[in-house]
Amino acid sequence: MSGDRDATELVIRVDPTDDGPVVGLGGDLDMATTPQLDGCLAGIARRRPDRIVVDLAELRFCDSTGLTTFVRWSRQCSDAGVQLLLRAPTPQLRRLLEITRFDSLLDVDSDGAVTGGDSDATVTEG
């Protein structure tokens, strides 16, 4: 069945920009797929950019594991002097961030107004 919730997929696209890397997420972020995001962010964080933007516009599902992953990475980045910015959450995700009050723990840009150059993008699919 094509709508089966057991078959989750996370698509991660990393675009280097003048303002730092933009990590675009698409698909589902849940217990099965957060290790992919962890691996991606760990690789980027090792380079210690000033800022990492996580673009959530194409993320169709995020469970509590995904939310806690954002909080954990926000803290780890902050400890390393790196800003983690969540950009353009869907209305459903924005509401979830508000209900859980995680929006007060995270830097969230609902406008998606972060800009930068576009070069040599890397795409990782799960």
Secondary structure of the chain as H, E, C letters: CCCCCCCCCEEEEEECCCCCCEEEEEEEECCCCHHHHHHHHHHHHHCCCCEEEEEEEEEEEECHHHHHHHHHHHHHHHHCCCEEEEECCCHHHHHHHHHHCHHHCCEEECCCCCCCCCCCCEEEEC
Q: Hey, what amino acid is at 116?
A: G
Distance of CA 121 to the CA centre of its chain: 16
Rounded to whole angstroms, the Cα distance separating 42 from 58 reads 21
Tracing tokens 């869907």 back to the chain, one arrives at 90
pLDDT per residue over 70-120, tens digit each?
999 999 999 999 999 999 999 999 999 999 999 999 999 987 554 333 333
Q: Which domains does the chain have, with CATH numbers?
A: 10-113+120-125 (3.30.750.24)
Identity of the residue numbered 77: C
What are the tens digits of pLDDT across the range 23-54? 999 999 999 999 999 999 999 999 999 999 99
What whole-number distance in Å separates Cα of residue 108 and Cα of residue 120? 26
pTM of the predicted model over 0.75: yes
Q: What is the pLDDT of residue 112?
A: 59
